[in-house]
Amino acid sequence: MHNISETPYHALKRIFHEPNRMAIVSALCAERRGLTFLQLKRECGLTDGNLSRHLKALEDAGMIDIRKHFVGSRPRTTIHMTDSGRDGFVDYLKALEEVLKQAAAALGSESERDARMPGNIKTAQA
């Protein structure tokens, strides 16, 4: 097995790397009790169909648990991170951090970046 710092790209899990799924999982990590479908939909700015598709992919991968129940006479869907999903996302974030560190180091200092830019173009300031 490779060390993450040697080959961080191999540790980037495709299931999390899609922007909408990253938003879903990030929102779920912030709420240990889980979120309802409606809360996730609002938090992530997704349509019902798009959210359902991403939740299905995450559920099939074992990253989340979807529970359907009734509150009074109204159906409610609650989504929780699984333990393996939470652990997998932490590993993914560590790998992503390593990839970003390597990219930043490869770009070098600001003056080196500016020297590589054509003409008088300067790199954007954060």
Give the chain as a 3 state SS string.
Answer: CCCCCCCHHHHCCHHHHCHHHHHHHHHHHHCCCCEEHHHHHHHHCCCHHHHHHHHHHHHHCCCEEEEEEEECCEEEEEEEECHHHHHHHHHHHHHHHHHHHHHHHHHCCHHHHHHHCCCCCCCCCC
- The whole-model pTM stands at 0.76
Cβ 95 vs Cβ 8: under 8 Å: yes
* Bridge partners, residue 66, by sequence: 79
Tell me if 47 is assigned to some domain: yes
Percent of the chain whose pLDDT exceeds 70? 81
Q: Is residue 38 part of a domain?
A: yes
User: Is residue 1 assigned to a domain?
Assistant: no
* 105 domain-assigned: yes
Question: How many structural domains are present in the chain?
Answer: 1
Give CA angle at 11 (7, 14), nearest 5°: 130
Query: Is 103 a domain residue?
Result: yes
Quote the CA–CA distance of 22 and 40 in Å, as a whole number.
12
What value does the mean pLDDT take over residues 60-74? 95
> Per-residue pLDDT tens for 93-106?
999 999 899 888 88
Does a structural domain hold residue 42?
yes
Q: Is residue 55 part of a domain?
A: yes
pLDDT of res. 111: 57
Owning domain of residue 69: 8-109
In a domain, residue 126? The reply is no
Say which CATH number the domain at 83 has.
1.10.10.10
* Dihedral class, residue 119 (left if φ above 0, else alpha if ψ from -120 to 50, else beta): left
